[in-house]
Amino acid sequence: MTNKILTALTSAFIMAASVAASQPEEGYPSPAGNVRVVGESYEKTLYVGETKFDLGSQHLISVREPSEEGFSEHFPNHFLIWEWGGGSMCHGFFRWLNANETPPKLTESFGTCKDVANNLRVEDGKAIFELYGAGSEGRVSFIYDGEQVTERNAGLDGISKVANPYDPEAWIGEHPWIYFAAPENEAFLTDLLGWELLDQLRFYGVGSEFTEDEGWVVGRLCQQSQCNTNKLVVAISKSTAMPYIAYKHWKHEEWRFIGDAPEKMPNSVRGYLAEG
Distance CA 179, CA 214 (A): 20
| Same domain, yes or no: 118 and 172 | no
| Same domain, yes or no: 224 and 90 | no
Sequence-distant (6+) residues with CB within 8 A of 215 are: 237, 238, 239, 266
Judge whether 126 lies within some domain: yes
| Same domain, yes or no: 146 and 268 | no
| Same domain, yes or no: 24 and 67 | yes
Query: What are residue 144's phi and psi, to 5 degrees?
Result: -115, 125
Judge whether 160 lies within some domain: no
Judge whether 238 lies within some domain: yes
Judge whether 22 lies within some domain: yes
Per-residue confidence in pLDDT tens, the chain, 276 aa: 333 333 333 333 344 444 444 567 789 999 999 999 988 766 788 999 999 998 877 778 889 999 999 999 999 999 999 988 766 556 778 999 999 999 999 999 998 776 555 789 999 999 999 876 567 777 788 999 999 999 988 777 666 778 888 899 999 999 898 899 888 899 999 999 999 999 989 888 778 899 999 899 999 998 876 788 899 999 999 999 999 999 998 888 799 999 988 888 889 999 889 887
| Same domain, yes or no: 8 and 123 | yes
| Same domain, yes or no: 150 and 172 | no
Cα 196 to Cα 5, 22, 136, 188: the distances in Å are 26, 40, 10, 14
Of 110, 132, 155, at which residue does a domain stop?
A: 155
Judge whether 161 lies within some domain: no
Judge whether 163 lies within some domain: no
| Same domain, yes or no: 14 and 137 | yes
Distance CA 124, CA 146 (A): 12
**What is the secondary structure of the chain as a DSSP string?**
-HHHHHGGGGSSSHHHHHH-----TT-B--TT--EEEE-SGGG-EEEETTEEE---S-SEEEEE---STTHHHHSTTEEEEEEE-SSSS---EEEEEE-SSSS-EEPPPB--SSS--EEEEEETTEEEEEE---GGG-EEEEEE-SS-EEEEEEETTT----S-TT-GGGGTTS-HHHHHH-HHHHHHHHHHH-HHHHHHHTT--EE---EEETTEEEEEEE-TT-TTT-EEEEEEETTT--EEEEEEETTEEEEEEESPPPSS--HHHHHHHHT-
CB 106 within 8 A of CB 95: yes
Residue in 71, 75, 61, 77 with CA at minimum distance from that of residue 29:
77
| Same domain, yes or no: 150 and 258 | no
Distance CA 249, CA 252 (A): 6
Query: What are residue 42's phi and psi, to 5 degrees?
Result: -85, 10
* Predicted local distance difference test score (pLDDT) of residue 21: 46
Q: 53: domain range?
A: 2-155
| Same domain, yes or no: 21 and 61 | yes
The pTM assigned to this predicted structure is 0.67
Query: What are residue 272's phi and psi, to 5 degrees?
Result: -70, -40
| Same domain, yes or no: 186 and 137 | no
| Same domain, yes or no: 55 and 125 | yes
Judge whether 140 lies within some domain: yes
- CATH for 179: 3.40.1420
Of 126, 155, 184, at which residue does a domain stop?
A: 155
Counting Cβ atoms within 10 Å, is residue 91 exposed (0-12), middle (13-18) or buried (19+)? Answer: buried
* Predicted local distance difference test score (pLDDT) of residue 111: 85
Sequence-distant (6+) residues with CB within 8 A of 146 are: 74, 75, 78, 98
Judge whether 98 lies within some domain: yes
| Same domain, yes or no: 144 and 214 | no
* Predicted local distance difference test score (pLDDT) of residue 13: 37
Of 106, 130, 155, at which residue does a domain stop?
A: 155
* Predicted local distance difference test score (pLDDT) of residue 133: 55
Q: How many domains does the chain have?
A: 2
